[in-house]
Amino acid sequence: MDLGISGKRALVSASSKGLGLGCARALAEAGCRLVMNARGEEALEASAAAIRADFGVEVETVACDVTTEEGRAKLLAAAGQVEILVTNAGGPPPGMWKDWSREDFIKALDANMLTPIALMQAALPGMMERRWGKVVNITSQSVKSPIAVLGLSNSARAGLTGFVAGTARQVAEYGVNINNLLPGIHATDRANSLDRAVCEKEGISMEEARAKRASTIPANRYGTPEEFGQTCAFLCSQYAGYLVGQNILLDGGSLNYTLA
């Protein structure tokens, strides 16, 4: 299927691994020219090289922490004018509601609310001027249904979701679409680290922790970065022009409701 975005310049932050990498690879497969980012240079260069080899597209890399002002400035300067923006960053650590300090909240808000907002504020004016743009923010299923141990994520991503709900409707008439993709459990390093915390707490093996969690998902498995990335590429495609300010849940049926 031709997504109609071949040659478009796409910035995907936090994309050397996991869901960000899944999005970068799917956009490259659709013919996009990429700007990729992560803090660790080695994995970033390896993922970029694999994408160049697999899809023959241009890939620029910027190794920096996207949650800092300096990092974002470096990334945005290298990216220049982008037509597609996928925002992502690492998720906050698990914990208990009574233990989080102001500093913990500021860190989570910086990473999972203020960073995507800053990236959008930088990219949207050019997109609006050129009357074409797609933004996908990687958030979490915790936006629709809180995950108790991820209260920092629940809080920060709710703030981002509110910003997107209002802003998406202000930029839609300029041919710019902003939507959020909400992952449920996907097989990435992040899921491994959450499973490891369960292993330690409950004294069970990784396999047991994974099987236990998978059994709570109607699909009875974790999602893959590939299927997540292809959904992202569709949201960035010529066919998603009428999709405005939506929160698309990819969770294998985990959240049990009729309508949301």
Q: Which residues bind ligand NAP (CB under 6 A)?
A: 14-20, 37-40, 43, 65-67, 88-91, 138, 140, 183, 185-186, 188-191
Find the shortest distance in angstroms from Cβ 138 to ligand NAP.
5
- Shortest separation between residue 184's beta carbon and ligand NAP, angstroms: 6
CB of 142 to ligand NAP, least distance (A): 7
Q: What is the DSSP letter of 258?
A: S
Q: Which among 102, 167, 113, 95 is positioned nearest to 135, based on CA atoms?
A: 167
The Cα 150–Cα 129 span in angstroms is 38
Whether the CB-CB separation of 13 and 88 falls below 8 Å is answered with yes
CB 160 within 8 A of CB 116: yes
Asked if 232 contacts 25 with a C-beta cutoff of 8 angstroms, the reply is no
Nearest CB to ligand NAP, comparing residues 115 and 237: 115
Distance (Å, whole) CA 184 – CA 55: 28
Shortest distance in whole angstroms from residue 12 CB to ligand NAP: 10
Of the candidates 97, 98, 92, which has an alpha carbon nearest to the alpha carbon of residue 110?
A: 92
Q: Quick one: 143 or 171, whose CB is closer to ligand NAP?
A: 143
Q: Are 9 and 32 in contact (CB under 8 A)?
A: yes
Six-digit token string for 16: 């050397």
- Nearer CB in complex with ligand NAP: 51/66: 66
Least gap, CB of 16 to ligand NAP (angstroms) = 4
CB of 193 to ligand NAP, least distance (A): 7
Nearer to ligand NAP, 147 or 239 (CB): 147
Whichever of 15 and 167 has its CB closer to ligand NAP, that residue is 15
User: Could you please report the per-residue DSSP string of 88-125?
Assistant: --PPPPP--TTT--HHHHHHHHIIIIIHHHHHHHHHHH
Which lies closer to ligand NAP via its Cβ, residue 42 or residue 54?
42
